[in-house]
Amino acid sequence: MKRTLEPYLWLLFSGGGVLAAFLLPVLVLLFGVLMPLGVVDWPTAEHLSALLDNVLVRLALLVVAVLCLFHAAHRIRHTSEELLGIARFDLVVAVLCYGGAIAGGVITALLLF
């Protein structure tokens, strides 16, 4: 029986989808509505710097970024194959999508650490 990476990619997809569903509405509410209206004060540079001094916060941000990138890569891969009819190029599309997610994760890790 041949084993594939597909279940692990679906796991990363679902994990990224759950995180995006929980975090993005809160971020849109804070940074798109409440802060511009003056209901909540904008964070200062010193506050954000102190927040990023904690290694656990940086690690959590890395996990969120990587899972969201893999969620986007998986969605782009399967949507482009269905809508554009390029399923015969599945390997190329997969390498481009997941390679981009891995590259984005590496860049995020370099920026955070």
For residues 108 and 62, is the Cβ–Cβ distance under 8 A? Answer: yes
pLDDT single digits (tens) 3-51: 888 889 889 999 999 998 999 899 999 999 999 999 999 999 999 999 9
Closest CA to 8 of 59, 82, 73: 73
Mean pLDDT of the chain: 92
For residues 68 and 19, is the Cβ–Cβ distance under 8 A? Answer: yes
Asked if the model's pLDDT at residue 86 lies above 90, the reply is no
> Averaged over 49-78, what is the pLDDT?
93
Domain ranges of the chain: 6-112
For residues 87 and 81, is the Cβ–Cβ distance under 8 A? Answer: yes
Residue 9: the pLDDT is: 87
In angstroms, what is the C-alpha Rg of the chain? 17
Tokens 């679906």 identify what position?
A: 10
Burial of 74 (0-12, 13-18, 19+ CB in 10 A): buried
Q: For the domain bounded by 6-112, which CATH number is listed?
A: 1.20.1300.10
Residue 75: the pLDDT is: 92
